[in-house]
A and B are shown apart, each in its own frame.
Chain A
Amino acid sequence: MITMEHVCKSYKIAKRNAGFREACKALVHREYETIHALSDVSFTIQDGEMIGYIGPNGAGKSSTIKILSGILTPDSGTVLVDGRVPYRNRIEHVSQIGVVFGQRSQLWWDVPVIDSFALLKDIYSISNAQYKQSLEELTVLLDLKELLRSPARQLSLGQRMRCEIAASLLHRPRILFLDEPTIGLDAVSKLAVRDFILKQNQIAKTTVILTTHDMQDIEALASRIILIGKGRILLDGTLDDIKKGNDDIDQTIAELYRSYDIS
């Protein structure tokens, strides 16, 4: 179970003015601008849920994900993930979660994918038996058999994403964070990725938290949607709650953003 209660996070950003004199001044004295990335964010996510976490750029999505995955420490509020405080004992926490950053790769570019997997086995201290079993399952489900022997640089984006997802699941995390997992993928790969995520959620009961700008992803996957804007939770409900009879999901979301004045 994941709970966030009254979580706030603000950043100080150094103001920088143009000009050489300003740059020199900045060395001595800096002016800061405070940005409230999260203000009083609270929600609870039960085991096995599949959450679509949406909002425009800069709304606070990635700050939330970073806090939940132990990268970022909040200013105030309480965060509990399966009874752990993510940022307090990072190493213990992250061995139980999986993270896919859609825009970045965790595979080694020039060696066969299977070699990257073998390294992850050591990083996550996965036992031989469990590694073998996970690998077999993921190979079948994601259709990786032909890909494992090729270096990541030779794979298409879609093929690579399938490998990325497998890489994040080798250690069988209870919670999976997916950040834009379908970005840039062709139609076939998108469907394959969605299909797999759905299966993973149903079969392994993995909790999935998905951030995306692709509303078809949300439509296909998320049973519950959390909308964040300007650092606040604006809406928390099912897809039908949001749709209210409107068929087109992109239209719905666009209207939603406009109605909250966050677009």
Chain B
Amino acid sequence: MKKYLSFFRLRFAMGLQYRVAALAGIVTQFFWGIMEIMIFHAFYRTDASAFPMTLSATTSYIWLQQSFLAFFTAWMMENEIFDSIVNGNIAYELCRPINIYNMWFARSIANRLSKAVLRCFPILIVAAFIPAPYGIAAPVSIGHFLLFIITLFLGLAMMVSFCMLIYVLTFFTISPQGLRIVFVSCVEFFSGALIPLPFFPEKIRQVMELLPFASMQNVALRIYSADMNRIEIERAIMLQIFWLVVVTLSGKLLCKAAERHITLQGG
């Protein structure tokens, strides 16, 4: 466990170095947030009765989404990992007394976390000072806030775990690129990155909420502004844990198979 922790620390510190890039990222994300909110506000002005969430819950959703973008963007995968698989450098990694899956997992979490840490606070602070309903609202209750934090990190783990599945699957495909495209598009659409899930028609939404993608940003961002009731929250967290276990386990099993595959074939 210790070695993964130090690996995590190393990556985390590395990520913190890109400060100017973070500053540019903050400006971009902030602008993105404002524009998204304006779109939803325009729809709200046109027909408030058709709005499935409160306007304030929607804006909070968008601000949190922009602040924690590094947690939930699918395309932010690690090129180095793809490269090491494709060009065979993975063989060196296999020589170390380290579990590849855990190492990559720690690395991806650290990477996303360091990016988010640099970016989230400035965005959140400024968004908090923007007057309602355009700014981010305070959490509904301490309970909701705690649940938000818990589900946020469950969502991050879910995201990374899914990315791991994609890395591992590249062992078995000729072209990782294709896999990646399908994956990124699915996450974009099904996770609520495009528009929050409540904006989808009822029937479609019910199905979407069962899929693993909904366990990424959807749960935390909606719990924050109490867009889910108690029963829905319980069910959502259960689903998060269920999918996290399923996806992580299948990733680990596949990784084992891939390692055997490599050692048998000599890389």
Contacts and interface: CB of A to CB of B under 8 A. Distances in A.
**Complex contact flag A–B (Cβ < 8 Å):** yes
B207 interface: no
A28 to B, nearest CB: 13
Contacts, number: 5
Nearest to A19: B19
Interface in A22-64: 23-24
Nearest to B20: A23
A20 B22 CA distance: 11
Nearest to A23: B19
A124 to B, nearest CB: 37
Interface string B5-19: 000000000000001
Nearest to A22: B19
Nearest to A26: B20
Interface residues of B, number: 3
Q: How large, as a class, is the contact surface on chain A? A: under 10
The A contact surface, by secondary structure, is: helix
A128 to B, nearest CB: 41
The B contact surface, by secondary structure, is: helix
A24 B22 CA distance: 12
Contacts of B19: 20, 23
Interface in B187-241: none
Contacts of B23: 23-24
Interface in B1-41: 19-20, 23
A24 B19 CA distance: 9
A24 B23 CA distance: 9
Contacts of A23: 19-20, 23
Nearest to B17: A18
A23 B23 CA distance: 10
B125 to A, nearest CB: 15
Contacts of A24: 23
B13 to A, nearest CB: 13
B70 to A, nearest CB: 17
B12 to A, nearest CB: 16
Interface in A8-25: 20, 23-24
A166 B20 CA distance: 43
A27 B151 CA distance: 37
Contacts of A20: 19
Interface string A75-88: 00000000000000
A20 B23 CA distance: 10
Nearest to B118: A20
A24 B24 CA distance: 12
A23 B20 CA distance: 7
A24 B20 CA distance: 9
B87 to A, nearest CB: 14
Interface in A94-140: none
A204 to B, nearest CB: 43
A12 B19 CA distance: 23
Interface of A: 20, 23-24
5 contacts: A20-B19, A23-B19, A23-B20, A23-B23, A24-B23
Q: Which 5 A/B pairs are nearest by Cβ-Cβ distance?
A: A23-B19, A20-B19, A23-B20, A23-B23, A24-B23
